[in-house]
């Protein structure tokens, strides 16, 4: 959504009235309706996300038109005044929504999501949300974060950054090339930046699609397309203008209805809605869009489109937490009505009043507007950062209890609650830790701390290779000169078991070496990671694994652990593992294949945090749904010296796989074990290793 989505102020100057474009109001209405319906019914309007690109073009056109007029009338571009006008236009409504959303998160959202949600609210208040989402998109461990109620602020962040960069570019270019006509210099500077950004967007989409979607530099060309249009003369013929505008709108509608979430985007695909929008704007105010823009309902949608964009997404994300149920059709209709209502109220009584009233920001000096903007941001940050600090204070006590339990591994804690050799924990055995251990002494119902559960990860850097790393990083647990040495190789599910490996090595007196790679494991199967570079890195890492396995000496067993996936293993997966295992130098050295843990599809932590006391009963999946065939059993059958290690009995019982066992939360996301629960598996993994290796 763009800040240029509002009409000229009611109390604006003659220039503002003269520049008002009802046809652009119609485009704004089309864009915001596309985004709204897409977010509510993504399977119906599969390409509605291109409404954002429509807004980018409109914003680039209007802002550049304003800068050109200012240069013509004053002979310069006043950066301070320009940024002050943008702040007075954008910030009142956006900070109001952020403040309301932050309070809603603290009141209704489970604490397990506070860190992410409040962190994104902080990033949005500082207009860097797109960069936060970009880093999360390439962060292997953050890629499956829940959608936050301010995720849509990435567009406003990109836009604000454009508003900073564009006038700076024009000022610097005009100074460096001051001997040339200023209009030609401005056009050339924008044209070069636009072409470079488009080329970068196409290239980046192939190598890092997550970055391409959120990066300001890969999106700048969309603003640039509108900016270049500001130098063109509009079509004055109503007939020709209507044809051009109609073709442009059809191009936008085609992308709205034909594009899907699998369409590579932005890249070249974004050219269709971008050029369509540019064509509709170029057609001028005499095209068929002008009377549409004057039609009261469409004019209203165009006028409040910025506020609709701000309000609708927080309602979509937060409402299920309020009602305790997924969104229904009735809920979605209510969200549409609430979005329109809140949009009208905030536009009429906040946006228009703050920027148009002399009592507030109208006519104020840039320094004064900057001070008020900083104060508004501070109000949001007080809530978002304050909530995060409260969360951290609550977590300290839980962390202390968790560390003590992991060190002692008392009876009936975690996996021990389901120890088949110990019936003292009872049939249910989901609340095996006594109240004196947890509730009475510390008032803790379950561990680890839900608000920081994504960091309850036993992985360590020495044993880990990120998605772009090719080196075989390896760490060791247990005595260096142990009589038995095991090498564990795999992806993040292998390294999620590090606490279990560490405890097993301690109990057995063995040495366990661990090497893991994000999304990559020991197989001949063609693995595709998020980018071409990551896929290539995985291939090089596997070559290093092969070299190590073929040359390693003194290894008593290779343990393999990897994520099974969302569906049962294919023949290619089974063949890939069996084929790779055969290349070990001494095939008499056994391969120990660790069956994967269940896959929940989406994180069960949210369910757990709604009521930790009953989470063991409420938050579970049927075993036949959660526990899929990862192919290891079939691969083991093909290798006479391969053996299966099956810990399924510590994840699922009686056909059900709960998210809490023995007062320990099993998963930190949809499929990675918490370090706490993995540690409780250590003694039972030691039993299985001893059986397998002897």
pLDDT of residue 138: 56
The answer to whether the beta carbons of residues 560 and 632 sit under 8 Å apart is yes
The answer to whether the beta carbons of residues 277 and 52 sit under 8 Å apart is no
pLDDT of residue 223: 96
- For CA atoms 656, 660, 666, 670, the dihedral sign is positive
Secondary structure class of 267 (helix, strand, coil): helix
In the block, tokens 């900083």 appear at 374
Residue 434 in this model has a pLDDT that exceeds 50: no
- Token pair for 42: 């993504």
For residues 52 and 33, what is the distance between their CA atoms, to the nearest angstrom?
A: 11
pLDDT of residue 411: 87
For residues 40 and 59, what is the distance between their CA atoms, to the nearest angstrom?
A: 25
Which positions ≥6 away from 622 have C-beta within 8 Å? Answer: 655, 656, 657
SS (H, E, C) 150-206: CCCHHHHHHHHHHHHHHHHHHHHHHHHCCCCCHHHHHHHHHHHHHHHHHHHHHHHHH
Phi, psi angle pair for 326, to nearest 5°: -65, 160
9 compared with 81, residue with greater pLDDT: 81
Candidate from 307-321, 570-584, 603-617 with smallest mean pLDDT: 603-617
Candidate from 25-34, 281-290, 549-558 with smallest mean pLDDT: 281-290
Q: How confident is the model at residue 553 (pLDDT cuts 50, 70, 90)?
A: confident
Residue 621 in this model has a pLDDT that exceeds 90: yes
Residue 64 in this model has a pLDDT that exceeds 90: yes
Encode pLDDT of 672-688 as tens digits. Answer: 999 999 999 999 999 99
pLDDT of residue 32: 97
pLDDT of residue 399: 85
pLDDT of residue 548: 94
Give me the mean pLDDT over the 565-579 stretch: 89
pLDDT of residue 380: 96
- Which of 290, 257, 270 is closest to 225 using CA atoms? 270
Residue 19 in this model has a pLDDT that exceeds 80: no
Phi, psi angle pair for 611, to nearest 5°: -160, 85
- For CA atoms 654, 432, 676, 603, the dihedral sign is positive
233 compared with 650, residue with greater pLDDT: 650
Mean pLDDT of all residues belonging to the chain: 89
Residue 356 in this model has a pLDDT that exceeds 60: yes
Q: How confident is the model at residue 254 (pLDDT cuts 50, 70, 90)?
A: very high
Residue 3 in this model has a pLDDT that exceeds 50: no
Give me the mean pLDDT over the 192-219 stretch: 93
Burial class of residue 134 (count of CB atoms within 10 Å of its CB; 0-12, 13-18, 19+):
buried
Encode pLDDT of 259-303 as tens digits. Answer: 998 899 999 999 999 999 999 999 877 788 999 999 999 999 999
Residue 12 in this model has a pLDDT that exceeds 70: no
Q: How confident is the model at residue 143 (pLDDT cuts 50, 70, 90)?
A: low
For residues 599 and 610, what is the distance between their CA atoms, to the nearest angstrom?
A: 20
Q: How confident is the model at residue 430 (pLDDT cuts 50, 70, 90)?
A: very low
- Which of 392, 404, 396 is closest to 676 using CA atoms? 404
Domains of the chain from N-terminus onward: 3-388 (no CATH), 414-693 (3.40.50.1110)
Terminal CA-CA length for the chain = 64
Give me the mean pLDDT over the 506-527 stretch: 95
């Amino acid at each position: 959504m763009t800040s240029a989505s509002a009409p000229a102020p009611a109390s604006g100057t003659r220039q503002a009235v003269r520049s008002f474009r009802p046809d652009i109001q119609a485009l704004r209405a089309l864009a915001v309706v596309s985004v709204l319906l897409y977010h509510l019914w993504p399977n119906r309007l599969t390409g509605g996300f291109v409404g954002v690109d429509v807004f980018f073009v409109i914003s680039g056109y209007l802002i550049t038109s304003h800068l050109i007029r200012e240069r013509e009338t004053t002979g310069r571009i006043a950066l301070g005044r320009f940024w002050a006008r943008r702040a007075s236009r954008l910030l009142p409504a956006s900070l109001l929504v952020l403040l309301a959303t932050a309070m809603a998160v603290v009141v209704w959202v489970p604490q397990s999501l506070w860190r992410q949600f409040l962190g994104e609210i902080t990033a949005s208040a500082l207009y860097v949300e797109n960069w936060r989402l970009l880093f999360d998109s390439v962060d292997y461990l953050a890629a499956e974060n829940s959608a936050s109620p301010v995720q849509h602020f990435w567009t406003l962040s990109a836009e604000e950054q454009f508003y900073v960069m564009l006038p700076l570019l024009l000022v610097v270019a005009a100074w460096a090339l001051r001997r040339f006509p200023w209009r030609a210099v401005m056009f050339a500077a924008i044209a070069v930046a636009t072409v470079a950004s488009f080329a970068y967007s196409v290239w980046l989409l192939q190598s890092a699609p997550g970055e391409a979607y959120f990066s300001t530099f890969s999106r700048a060309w969309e603003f640039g397309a509108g900016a270049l249009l500001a130098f063109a003369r509009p079509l004055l013929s109503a007939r020709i203008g209507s044809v051009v505008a109609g073709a442009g709108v059809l191009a936008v509608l085609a992308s709205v209805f034909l594009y899907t979430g699998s369409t590579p985007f932005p890249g070249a695909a974004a050219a269709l809605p971008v050029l369509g929008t540019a064509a509709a704007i170029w057609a001028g105010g005499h095209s068929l869009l002008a009377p549409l823009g004057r039609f009261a309902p469409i004019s209203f949608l165009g006028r409040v489109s910025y506020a609709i964009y701000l309000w609708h997404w927080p309602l979509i994300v937060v409402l299920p937490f309020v009602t305790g149920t997924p969104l229904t059709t009735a809920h979605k209709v209510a969200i549409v009505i609430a979005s329109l209502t809140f949009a009208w109220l905030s536009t009429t009584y906040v946006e228009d009043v703050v920027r148009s009233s002399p009592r507030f920001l109208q006519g104020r000096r840039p320094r004064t507007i900057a001070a008020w903007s900083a104060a508004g941001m501070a109000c949001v940050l007080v809530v978002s950062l304050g909530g995060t600090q409260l969360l951290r204070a609550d977590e300290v006590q839980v962390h202390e209890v968790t560390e003590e339990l992991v060190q002692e591994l008392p009876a009936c804690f975690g996996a021990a609650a389901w120890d088949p050799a110990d019936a003292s924990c009872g049939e249910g055995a989901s609340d095996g830790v006594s109240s004196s251990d947890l509730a009475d002494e510390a008032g803790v119902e379950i561990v680890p701390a839900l608000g920081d559960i994504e960091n309850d990860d036993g992985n360590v850097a020495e044993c880990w290779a990120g998605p772009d790393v090719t080196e075989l990083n390896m760490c060791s647990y247990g005595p260096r000169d142990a009589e038995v040495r095991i090498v564990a190789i795999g992806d993040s599910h292998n390294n999620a078991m590090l606490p279990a490996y560490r405890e097993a090595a301690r109990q057995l007196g063995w040495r366990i070496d661990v090497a893991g790679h994000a999304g990559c494991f020991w197989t001949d199967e063609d693995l595709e990671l998020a980018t071409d570079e990551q896929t290539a890195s995985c291939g090089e890492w596997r070559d290093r694994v092969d070299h190590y396995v073929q040359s390693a000496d003194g290894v008593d067993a290779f343990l393999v652990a990897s994520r099974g996936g969302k569906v049962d293993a294919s023949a290619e997966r089974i063949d890939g593992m069996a084929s790779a295992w055969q290349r070990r130098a001494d095939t008499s050295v056994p391969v120990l294949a660790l069956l994967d843990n269940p896959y929940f599809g989406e994180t069960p932590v949210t369910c757990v945090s709604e009521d930790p006391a009953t989470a063991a009963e409420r938050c579970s999946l049927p075993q036949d749904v959660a526990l899929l065939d990862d192919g290891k059993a079939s691969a083991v059958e093909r290798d006479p010296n391969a053996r299966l290690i099956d810990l399924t009995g510590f994840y699922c019982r009686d056909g059900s796989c709960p998210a809490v066992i023995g007062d320990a939360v099993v998963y930190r996301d949809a499929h990675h074990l918490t370090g706490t629960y993995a540690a409780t598996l250590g003694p039972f993994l030691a039993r299985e290793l001893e059986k397998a290796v002897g």
